[in-house]
Structure 1
C-alpha cells in the first residue's frame, strides 16, 4: 500500500532536481511548478514498464483487451461517461451555477475545433492515467489485499494526486536547486486544504466507479479509458463556454478545482454507486 507512495516521492525528488536544470533551458515560458508536475507525471508513466517486469505483469493483466475489442470498449465507455456527467452539467446550468459566457462568440468552426482539441486531450489524459491507476495499481495491490480495498486505495491515490500541486511562481532567474523542494512541500500541504474537500470527494467517487468498471471483467480497461475521456472532455468544453457563479444560491455545490466537480458531483456519483449496489443485491450477485 505504501510502495506507490514511495515511488511517488522518489520521482518527485528526481523531478525537483531535474526541474531546476530544465527551467534554466526553457526560461519563464513555463513555471517551475508546471515543469516539475509534468516531469513527475512522465516519470510515473515510464515507471509502468519496469514495474510490469518486476511484478511479472503483462498487457492483459493491466486490463487491455485485444485490438478490436478495445476499439469497441472505448466508445462504449465514452457513452457511459456522457450519461453520468451530462445530467449534472445540465442541472448546474438550470440551478444558475453556470451560465453561457456572453463575451464569447463561438462560430460553428471554432466550436468544432475546440471540441476536437478537447477530445484529443481527454483521450491522452485517460490513456495515461487509466493504465497507471486502474491498470498497474489495482493489478499489483489486489495480489496482497481484498479487491474492494485495492479499488479504494487506487481511488485514494488517484484523487489525491490531482491536488498535489503548488501555486507559487518562481522565476527562472531566482530558481535554485532547493526551489523545487520548496514547491514540493507546498504541493503536499495543499492536499489538506479544506477548500478542495468536495472536489477531492468527487474524484474519489470517480476512482471507485472506474475501479469497479475495471474489475467487473479481466479486460475492461478500454471501458475505463472511454468513460474517463468523456468526463474530461465535458469538463474541458464547459470551462470556456460557461461562467461559474460561486455566489449564486447553489454555487456551493461546485468546487474550485475545475468549476464542475464538487458536492453535487460527489452526491450524484454516490447515488450511482448506491444504485449499482442495490442492483447487485437484487440480482444476488
Structure 2
C-alpha cells in the first residue's frame, strides 16, 4: 500500500516542481518583457510547456519506446486518428444536441455569423483541438498510464492517471495582480492559490466529469494495443466540438436543466457528460463480456 501510494504521488511531485519553476520563470519573463500578459496566465502556459517537455527525459528514464507509449505504425496511426475523431463526434454530439434541445445552450444572436466565419471557427478549432489532444494524450494516456501500469494494477493506473488528468484542468488562479505590484514571490502565491482551487466545491461536477473522460480514454488505450491515435482523435473531437459550441452558443443561466452542466468550468462538461459516458462504458463492458463468452464457446 505504501509503495502504491508512493507511485501515485510521483506525478504530483513533478507537477509541483514544474509549477514552482514556472512561477519563477513567469516573473522573470514579465520583468524583461513588460506588462504583456497576466502573471497567472504566463505561469499556467509555462507549466504546461514544462510538463510537455518532461515527456522526453521521462520517456528515456522509463526506457519507453514510442510503440510502448501507444504509437502505432504511421498508416495505422492515421487510421486510428480518423476512427477516434468519429468516435468523439459520436459520443459528444448527442450531449450538445440535448443541451440545445433543453435550451441550456442558446444560439448567440448578438454576433453576425457568415458561412466564412463559421468555417474559420471550425477549422481553427480543429487545429488547436488537435494540438491539445496530442500533448495531453502523450502525457496522460501514454507516459503516465504506461508508467503506472508497470508498477501498479490496471485499475490503479487508470484511476490515478484519470485523477491527474481531471485535476490539472483546475490548476488555475483567478487573481489579477497589478503589474507594478509584482514581486519575485508573486508567482508562488498564485501557484498556491491554483492548487487550493482543487478544494473549490464549484468545480466538483466538472471534476467528476473529466475524471470519467479520463477513465473512458484510459480504457480505450488499455484495451486496444498501440491505440494512442484513437485517444488523440477522440480527445480532439471532444475539444473541437466544445470550442465551436462555445463560439456559436451561449449558456442560458435561466434554463430549467442548467444543472446538467458546470457553469464554473465551460458550460458543457458536467453531470450530463458524466452519466452519458458512464452509460457508454457500461454498454462497452457488457459487450466485452459477451464477446469473451462467445470466444470461450468457440
TM-score in same-fold range (> 0.5): yes
**Pairs within 5 Å for 1:124-273:** 124-256=131-263, 257-273=265-281
Q: CA deviation at 1:152?
A: 1.1
Q: CA deviation at 1:28?
A: 2.7
Please report the RMSD computed on the Cα atoms of aligned residues, expressed in angstroms. Answer: 1.0
Count the aligned residue pairs.
285
Q: CA deviation at 1:119?
A: 0.5
3-state SS of 2:199 partner? coil
Q: CA deviation at 1:178?
A: 0.7
Separation in structure 2 between the aligned mates of residue 82 and residue 272 of structure 1, nearest angstrom: 14
3-state SS of 1:243 partner? strand
Residue among 78, 85, 89 paired with 1:82: 89
Post-superposition CA distance 1:216-272 (Å, at most 9, x none):
122100000000000000000011111101221111111021111111111111111
Separation in structure 1 between the aligned mates of residue 13 and residue 140 of structure 2, nearest angstrom: 15
3-state SS of 2:13 partner? helix
Separation in structure 1 between the aligned mates of residue 225 and residue 212 of structure 2, nearest angstrom: 21
Separation in structure 2 between the aligned mates of residue 181 and residue 113 of structure 1, nearest angstrom: 38
Indicate yes or no: 2:43 matched with 1:36: yes
3-state SS of 1:204 partner? helix
Separation in structure 2 between the aligned mates of residue 192 and residue 275 of structure 1, nearest angstrom: 33
Partner of 1:55: 62
Q: CA deviation at 1:177?
A: 1.0
Separation in structure 1 between the aligned mates of residue 31 and residue 233 of structure 2, nearest angstrom: 38
Partner of 1:45: 52
1:24–1:172 Cα contact (<8 Å) kept: no
Where structure 2 has 5 or more consecutive residues not aligned to the other structure, the ranges are 1-7, 294-298
Separation in structure 2 between the aligned mates of residue 202 and residue 27 of structure 1, nearest angstrom: 38
Separation in structure 2 between the aligned mates of residue 83 and residue 101 of structure 1, nearest angstrom: 24
Q: CA deviation at 1:281?
A: 2.3
Indicate yes or no: 2:10 matched with 1:8: no
Separation in structure 2 between the aligned mates of residue 66 and residue 173 of structure 1, nearest angstrom: 52
Separation in structure 1 between the aligned mates of residue 20 and residue 253 of structure 2, nearest angstrom: 36
Q: CA deviation at 1:172?
A: 2.4
3-state SS of 1:170 partner? coil
Q: CA deviation at 1:29?
A: 2.4
TM-score computed with the length of structure 2 as normaliser: 0.93
Residue among 276, 282, 290 paired with 1:274: 282
Partner of 2:73: 66
TM-score computed with the length of structure 1 as normaliser: 0.98
Separation in structure 1 between the aligned mates of residue 127 and residue 29 of structure 2, nearest angstrom: 26
Q: CA deviation at 1:275?
A: 1.1
Separation in structure 2 between the aligned mates of residue 117 and residue 63 of structure 1, nearest angstrom: 27
Where structure 1 has 5 or more consecutive residues not aligned to the other structure, the ranges are none
1:158–1:204 Cα contact (<8 Å) kept: yes
